[in-house]
Amino acid sequence: MAVLFFREQDLSNYLQMKDYKHAVELCLTLDKPRRLLSVFTEILDNGDSGRPYFSSRTGRGSVRR
């Protein structure tokens, strides 16, 4: 139970820092589909899709689509 609390706190911290890559990974790990949708919605609304980790499918800037 305490582990879940800390993971939820990590998720909130990632979102506050706009660290969307880690937020998405944690949403998937915690099985939070609604939260995952809100992360993607925030990314699209804020226009942050140009961040380096969204430039490739692997998350590596050296690999392009």
53 and 21 in contact (C-beta within 8 Å)?
yes
Residue 64 lies in a domain: no
Question: Which pair of structure tokens corresponds to residue 48?
Answer: 């942050």
Q: Is residue 61 a part of any domain in this protein? A: no
Would you place residue 11 in the very low, low, confident or very high pLDDT band (cuts 50, 70, 90)? Answer: very high
Domain count, the chain: 1
Question: Do the domain assignments include residue 62?
Answer: no
pLDDT at residue 27, rounded to an integer: 95
* Count of Cβ atoms closer than 10 Å to residue 27 Cβ: 21
Inside any domain, residue 60: no
The pTM of the full predicted model, rounded to 2 decimals, is: 0.67
Structural domain that includes position 45: 2-54
Q: How many residues does the chain have?
A: 65
pLDDT higher than 90, residue 10: yes
How confident is the model over 19-65, as pLDDT tens digits?
999 999 999 999 999 999 999 998 888 865 455 545 555 555 565 54
Residue 16 lies in a domain: yes
Query: In which element (H, E) is residue 34 found?
Result: helix 33-46
Higher per-residue confidence, 60 vs 7:
7
In a domain, 25, yes or no: yes
